[in-house]
Amino acid sequence: MNNSFLQHTSSAATWIWYPGDFEIVLANKMQNRRTERGTFFPVFWKIDNHYVLMDFHKVFDVPEQETVDIYVEGEYNVKLDGKAFEGSPKQITVPAGKHKINIKVFNQANVPAVYVKGKTIVSDATWLVTFEDKEWIDETGKASDISATKWLNAGSSNFNSPTQLPSQFALPVKEQTAVSTEKGENSMLVDFGKETFGFIKLHGLKGKGNLSVYYGESKEEALSTEHCETLDRVKVNSTEKKDQTMELSKAYRFVNVQYDEAVTLDSVSMLYEYADVKEQGSFTCNDEEINRIYDVAKYTFELNTREFFIDGIKRDRWIWSGDAYQSYLMNYYLYFDSETVKRTTYALRGKDPVTGHINTIMDYTFFWFLGIYDYYLYTGDKHFIAQNYDRMKTLMDYVLARRNKDGLMEWMSGDWIFIDWAAGLSKKGEVSFEQLLFARSLETMALCANIVDDKDAATQYNTLAADIRKKLFDIYWNDQKQALVHSRIDGKQTDNVTRYANMFSIFFDYFNQQQKEAVKKSVLLNDQIQKITTPYMRFYELEALCAMDEQSYVLKEMKDYWGGMLKRGATSFWEEYNPTKTGTEHYEMYGREFGKSLCHAWGASPLYLLGKYYLGVKPTAPGYATYSVEPNLGGLQWMQGKVPTPNGNIELHVTKEQVKIKAAAGAGTVVLKSKTQPTGNNISTVAKENGVYEIAVNPGSEYVINYKAE
Amino acid sequence: MNNSFLQHTSSAATWIWYPGDFEIVLANKMQNRRTERGTFFPVFWKIDNHYVLMDFHKVFDVPEQETVDIYVEGEYNVKLDGKAFEGSPKQITVPAGKHKINIKVFNQANVPAVYVKGKTIVSDATWLVTFEDKEWIDETGKASDISATKWLNAGSSNFNSPTQLPSQFALPVKEQTAVSTEKGENSMLVDFGKETFGFIKLHGLKGKGNLSVYYGESKEEALSTEHCETLDRVKVNSTEKKDQTMELSKAYRFVNVQYDEAVTLDSVSMLYEYADVKEQGSFTCNDEEINRIYDVAKYTFELNTREFFIDGIKRDRWIWSGDAYQSYLMNYYLYFDSETVKRTTYALRGKDPVTGHINTIMDYTFFWFLGIYDYYLYTGDKHFIAQNYDRMKTLMDYVLARRNKDGLMEWMSGDWIFIDWAAGLSKKGEVSFEQLLFARSLETMALCANIVDDKDAATQYNTLAADIRKKLFDIYWNDQKQALVHSRIDGKQTDNVTRYANMFSIFFDYFNQQQKEAVKKSVLLNDQIQKITTPYMRFYELEALCAMDEQSYVLKEMKDYWGGMLKRGATSFWEEYNPTKTGTEHYEMYGREFGKSLCHAWGASPLYLLGKYYLGVKPTAPGYATYSVEPNLGGLQWMQGKVPTPNGNIELHVTKEQVKIKAAAGAGTVVLKSKTQPTGNNISTVAKENGVYEIAVNPGSEYVINYKAE
């Protein structure tokens, strides 16, 4: 393996740890904060733990003697050029010259972490770490064999002050007040005006007795003391008025506080808990409903972007790979926050041995690989691939060991084949959608193997990927139906056509143009094919339609579907929406009155669709080294917005006559269908077939392109 | 796999956890208490961590409604028949009838553990546990697939009170006083009279300044403030006299306390820290020197029997598989404490993935398997085999993946091939000793595979074992030398004969009788073959000689070697002893003046030799269901002693004319060489070839057998 991506550039001092360990432990803490009606409700898959003993080291060339401060989470020793200082020094002096510093840390309860700060000697991601140094001197003074020791670069995440202990990390909070409060005899119904998340704070609590807080994403839920999904119980015992903040943050718009007669309460506020990520992308257009949809999608995504990308804030609050995968894509068009993508990727993967699929779901293992494919495409970050490659390999080993006799993925004991929440969806035999995701995962492995220079593996993964892609068509393509069928059972193609494999094959470019056109008609726009009702799979369905230039159609769908939720008073987008339901039926799911999450990340897909398929910006080489801009108004009069890239934003303003574009970095190509030859300052256009023009865009300047939309 | 060994019998309430997790975490704590001259000195191999999320369950048939108290280390929920109680209840009521109780616990910092106590519902080792229950209901109410969930019985270890928290476990201590104290100007040299272990306590400390405690296993070491191996630094700042106990327990006979002028100190005592195991075996004879050797061996072993069987108390204080293996054998003749064997076995093995040999040493991986072979032979405990079998398999998978092209074990990157501390010992090519241990490890796997009814695996392991045993003779046996040679390099047998593989092949019964006799002469009693200087390999050398009826020779060796240490003032037995050295030379090792450990477990081997080869007691079927007693006085006038078994002791008194024996359980066979037909009460003898008589012994009665030793 090529280690050229280790040892990337130095930075200021920061806390460091074994890559993934902080993330895994933080995920444990976060995911185990879920409660259901006051009861601890943990995940049902294996979760992992940190390495308790860690060696950190780096070689420095020190210009002149310096003193170095050392802060450590754990018991530790410090060695300079292999010789230990006595005790656990908080400060050492390092003479001028080339020196190796080792810090070995043991911490059972928390992640071993180190912060080192001298004039030139600082802890950062260029340090090397291992959980097994095999470094030993035998009785003759002969050094042990350390040739098999595996080093990675340290993990870090902007904990840049010595007092900012990684083990103490918590999201920031800010005070929020209610928009209205209805006071009852011994109760208070508080409305925060919109879906929110955080710690309820009870003010002026006094007396002796019991108090309950019933949370509701809807008013009905808060009022349903028997069926609301989350609640808190408080024992009050105070002769003085005092404030009390709940221990766990929760999701709600309404809270219904009920208390015994001997208890009094002045008011209720909350501490809004949020991830401090920066908004970079934007979208505005002439259609106010679309603008509202974009804003509520943004808020929905903000609420679900926490320590990690989670599924929904009320109920699961867990990291689900399929959900996270969509959050990554939305993130590239809003925050471009790579830290949260990496943190989520580490947390989902956990550690070896692999004992089950990610979240126990076969498709979710594959979405994990796909997430890395996209991460590389959007960021161009080879270093993360190198750091993560061994974990990718062992997870793929697990998958490969579970192929059936035909080399395909089929249900095995312990697997959950999810695909989608859809009535009567068959999981039997070999499901086409799983093979499709498997093929893309193998392509991801081949790509990453090449990045780390593991040539033999790259060849093997490519061969396997080609084989599965071929089988996808050999086994599932039905000429009569002009579609991929859903599955094969006992060696026979089934009759059933579902949308899943077909829509992914469009935007994965697995279909040729002819197949795409056929499938658009036979599947995507065919009402006979079972409809998708979750925003989860709507995400990909609408993406496929956009990839087939159906932006006008999709715009109407957006207004119907997301607009429909807004009309029903949604302040964030839901886990599921079925326009045929009425009233409180909308809140039901999983057989529970208020089982549905009214703020689910996968509900925010317009963020992605509007950025990628209306503004039309996407990378064509890793990290936006090159990119294309293919604006499509889809019936809008005008639109404008920003799309973030690793090196700054691409800003766009689009009408039917003019495209203004300015990009901070990368080599862009604006692709326009125009009735006339586009003109403008400083542009060189290339006519293509079918009246499509390509205009090269360099960073820094604003381009004003005049054209005439068809 | 056959689970018939799960669900073993109920007992009183006790704290339970995932098997191995308490042990692994305790080992982490213990092994990381090592310091070297005041500096934290951790192990250099991977150490593992507990599962943070655990499901405990059991189905009970409750005769009448009962209340059940619940104590948990961690956050938890409790379910009765799948339905959760609100919050984390400390007491629940269970109605009469058949009910399933689940407790799910999350604990990041400590091992998730549970203590449950009702009238009939109690937590014990019959509960089942898993770290991955995969138990989930989908949106339709369909239960998820839990068919792949692996359950084990809970681990436990006599934490029988609710307040005895596993996370707070510490060995007991008792006060000990010095036998002499030399007071200097600002110093105190304290002698505890013999090697000891524990926390130094400073009495009447007052003033302001620095104080240092220098520890010595010898007086010279304590006085050598520059070179003693362990020390403590104390900052004194008190106007009142106070006592202070050191934070870490240490090994020493002498302590040298030195302090600043402005500091005063009244006296020094200690808290002796020990494992509370019961002595069961014993040995006494007419030779006072042998009795003294036995007693000092016993004390040496007591000091090294702690939370686990460790190598030596001063320096490493680590769990080394090769050292632990010998402790297991000694344990079977002194404490018969199965808990410490199991605990040590779990701690050494750690968890998957296997990333290196145990302690990084190839031979030590094999000794781990051998330890299980013996554990089963001595205890007959199939349940532990069933609980441990998966870990055995994955460790053997690691080994099998590291065979060379000829299927043999040869050095690979990262391996340490130890064998013994011996000058110039070659580790090149394929070393015969490693193949021998490999063969026995495969035999162990086959044995255990049969126990858990994994028939296919048993066949495979047996085939592999037979192949390696055949190769051992095909490749290494040299007819001219009448011995196994040390190694093969580049396909060629080397010239060198060492004792290792030859002596093991004797007591493993790999040699036939003719080979044994030949090897005794050509190797064991041949001064041309490189001598063994460590008690570690002396252990096996003397065992091989005893197995060849050389008890008289071995008795002299014991008196020379162990008697030699006693004559040099040893109060416990050493890591290494070379009679040609003088004075403080005896304290040197690893290039350090006081590097040698003067209290090393492997120095206590007379415990084993006297029990197994003089009293002559050993199991011939698992758990002493049958056993043989083949007393051999080796030149002694008389000897008497006890040998523990799982169901009570075997008591013996032996002279040249009479054997008295009484056994608590098992079917024994006393094997005697006698010039005359043995007589006695109630015995039935069977004459055998060569004047060897066998006398059957049943439990309960005392047998007095009169005979005439040859």
Does residue A3 have a pLDDT over 80?
no
Sheet-wide strand order for A492-493: A430-431, A487-489, A492-493
Confidence of residue B368 (pLDDT cuts 50, 70, 90): very high
Q: Which of B532, B501, B356, B385 is nearest to B438 (CA)?
A: B501
Contact A286, A638 (CB under 8 A): yes
Does residue B317 have a pLDDT over 50?
yes
- The answer to whether ipTM exceeds 0.90 is yes
pLDDT digits (tens, 9 = 90+) for A15-30: 999 999 999 999 999 9
Mean pLDDT on A297-324: 97
Mean pLDDT on A2-12: 52
Q: What is the pLDDT of residue B3?
A: 43
Mean pLDDT on B26-40: 96
Confidence of residue B479 (pLDDT cuts 50, 70, 90): very high
Instruction: With beta carbons under 8 A apart, name residues in chain B contacting A421.
Output: 139
Q: How far is B420 from chain A (nearest CA, A)?
A: 11
Instruction: With beta carbons under 8 A apart, name residues in chain B contacting A108.
Output: 25, 28-29, 49, 109
Instruction: With beta carbons under 8 A apart, name residues in chain A contacting B24.
Output: none
pLDDT digits (tens, 9 = 90+) for B562-604: 999 999 999 999 999 999 999 999 999 988 999 999 999 999 9
Q: What is the pLDDT of residue B7?
A: 46
CATH numbers and ranges of domains, chain B: 21-168 (2.60.120.260), 173-273 (2.60.120.260), 275-338+532-614 (no CATH), 362-417+423-528 (1.50.10.10), 622-706 (2.60.420.10)
User: Cα dist. B461→A689, B404, B584 in Å?
Assistant: 68, 17, 50
Does residue A138 have a pLDDT over 90?
no
For B134, the closest of A104, A353, A360 (CB atoms) is A360
Confidence of residue A353 (pLDDT cuts 50, 70, 90): very high
Q: Which of A521, A374, A403 is nearest to A471 (CA)?
A: A403
CA of B25: which chain A residue's CA is closest? A108
Instruction: With beta carbons under 8 A apart, name residues in chain B contacting A50.
Output: 49
Q: What percent of chain B has pLDDT over 70?
A: 97
Q: How far is B68 from chain A (nearest CA, A)?
A: 18
Taking the C-alpha atoms of residue A387 and residue A4, their distance in angstroms, rounded to an integer, is 11
In chain A, what is the straight-line distance between the N-terminal and C-terminal CA atoms, in Å? Answer: 51
Query: Phi then psi for A159, rounded to 5 degrees?
Result: -90, 85
User: Cα dist. A191→A37, A174, A641 in Å?
Assistant: 20, 17, 33
Instruction: With beta carbons under 8 A apart, name residues in chain B contacting A145.
Output: 413-416
Instruction: With beta carbons under 8 A apart, name residues in chain B contacting A87.
Output: 38-39, 233
Q: What percent of chain A has pLDDT over 90?
A: 92
Task: Convert A480-524 into a string of H (helix), E (strand) and C (coil).
Answer: CCCEECCEEECCEECCCCCCHHHHHHHHCCCCCHHHHHHHHHHHH
| Strand ranges in A246-375 using DSSP code E only, listed in sequence order | 250-259, 263-264, 267-273, 282-285
Confidence of residue A141 (pLDDT cuts 50, 70, 90): low
Instruction: With beta carbons under 8 A apart, name residues in chain A contacting B148.
Output: 356, 412-415
CA of B421: which chain A residue's CA is closest? A139
Peptide bond into A353 cis (omega under 30): yes
Cβ-defined contact of B42 to A104 (cutoff 8 Å): yes
Q: Which residue has the higher pLDDT, A690 or A310?
A: A310
Cβ-defined contact of B139 to A421 (cutoff 8 Å): yes
For B106, the closest of A32, A77, A590 (CB atoms) is A32
Q: How far is A57 from chain B (nearest CA, A)?
A: 14
Cβ-defined contact of A133 to B416 (cutoff 8 Å): no
Task: Name B367's Cβ contacts closer than 8 Å, sequence gap at least 6.
Answer: B321, B322, B324, B325, B358, B437
Instruction: With beta carbons under 8 A apart, name residues in chain B contacting A25.
Output: 108
pLDDT digits (tens, 9 = 90+) for A242-265: 999 999 999 999 999 999 999 999
Q: What is the pLDDT of residue B64?
A: 96
CA of A138: which chain B residue's CA is closest? B590
Q: How far is A88 from chain B (nearest CA, A)?
A: 7
Q: Which of A367, A355, A368, A353 is nearest to A413 (CA)?
A: A355
Helix or strand (DSSP H, E) at B562: helix B551-567
Q: How far is B37 from chain A (nearest CA, A)?
A: 7
Average pLDDT score over chain B: 95
Does residue A688 have a pLDDT over 90?
no
For B141, the closest of A49, A85, A591 (CB atoms) is A591
Beta bridge partners of B245: B201
Helix or strand (DSSP H, E) at A564: helix A551-567
HSE-CB at B547 with a 13 A cutoff on CA atoms is: 25
pLDDT digits (tens, 9 = 90+) for A264-309: 999 999 999 999 999 999 999 999 999 999 999 999 999 999 999 9
Q: What is the pLDDT of residue A2?
A: 41
Q: How far is A334 from chain B (nearest CA, A)?
A: 31
Cβ-defined contact of B134 to A414 (cutoff 8 Å): yes
Cβ-defined contact of B136 to A44 (cutoff 8 Å): yes
Question: Which site among A90, A151, A360, A427 would you substitute to test the B interface, given the most B Cβ atoms closer than 10 Å to its Cβ?
Answer: A360
Of the listed ranges A680-684, B99-103, B467-471, B689-693, the least confidently predicted one is A680-684
Q: What is the pLDDT of residue B2?
A: 41
Mean pLDDT on A503-522: 97
Instruction: With beta carbons under 8 A apart, name residues in chain A contacting B86.
Output: 37-39, 233
Does residue B9 have a pLDDT over 80?
no
User: Cα dist. B256→B59, B219, B252, B635 in Å?
Assistant: 59, 9, 10, 45
Confidence of residue A223 (pLDDT cuts 50, 70, 90): very high
Place of tokens 């991506």: A5
Instruction: With beta carbons under 8 A apart, name residues in chain A contacting B41.
Output: 77, 84
In one-letter notation, the amino acid at residue A444 is: T
CA of A144: which chain B residue's CA is closest? B416
For A139, the closest of B46, B85, B590 (CB atoms) is B590
Q: What is the pLDDT of residue B8?
A: 45
Does residue B5 have a pLDDT over 70?
no
Confidence of residue B11 (pLDDT cuts 50, 70, 90): low
For B145, the closest of A45, A355, A413 (CB atoms) is A413
DSSP A225: T
Q: What is the pLDDT of residue B483?
A: 98
Q: What is the pLDDT of residue A140?
A: 64
pLDDT digits (tens, 9 = 90+) for B508-541: 999 999 999 999 999 999 999 999 988 999 999 9
Cβ-defined contact of A416 to B135 (cutoff 8 Å): no
Does residue A67 have a pLDDT over 90?
yes
For A589, the closest of B110, B139, B149 (CB atoms) is B139
Instruction: With beta carbons under 8 A apart, name residues in chain A contacting B50.
Output: 49
Cβ-defined contact of A49 to B47 (cutoff 8 Å): no
Confidence of residue B147 (pLDDT cuts 50, 70, 90): confident
Does residue B288 have a pLDDT over 60?
yes
Query: Phi then psi for B212, rounded to 5 degrees?
Result: -125, 145
pLDDT digits (tens, 9 = 90+) for B595-616: 999 999 999 999 999 999 999 9
pLDDT digits (tens, 9 = 90+) for A627-645: 999 999 999 999 999 999 9
- The neighbour count for residue B617, using CB atoms within 10 Å, is 29
pLDDT digits (tens, 9 = 90+) for B389-445: 999 999 999 999 999 999 999 999 999 999 998 888 999 999 999 999 999 999 999
Does residue A8 have a pLDDT over 50?
no
Mean pLDDT on B119-125: 96
Task: Name A463's Cβ contacts closer than 8 Å, sequence gap at least 6.
Answer: none
Mean pLDDT on A599-612: 97
Q: What is the pLDDT of residue B4?
A: 47
For A38, the closest of B47, B86, B144 (CB atoms) is B86
Contact A74, A112 (CB under 8 A): yes
Q: What is the pLDDT of residue A442?
A: 98
Mean pLDDT on A108-136: 95
In one-letter notation, the amino acid at residue B63 is: P
* CB contacts < 8 A (A, B): 180
Average pLDDT score over chain A: 95
Instruction: With beta carbons under 8 A apart, name residues in chain B contacting A36.
Output: 84
Instruction: With beta carbons under 8 A apart, name residues in chain A contacting B53.
Output: 28, 32, 42-43, 46-47
Mean pLDDT on B347-359: 97
Cβ-defined contact of A108 to B109 (cutoff 8 Å): yes
Cβ-defined contact of A28 to B590 (cutoff 8 Å): no
Cα-based torsion angle of the residue sequence B443, B446, B451, B457 in order, rounded to the nearest 10 degrees: 170
Helix or strand (DSSP H, E) at A222: helix A219-223
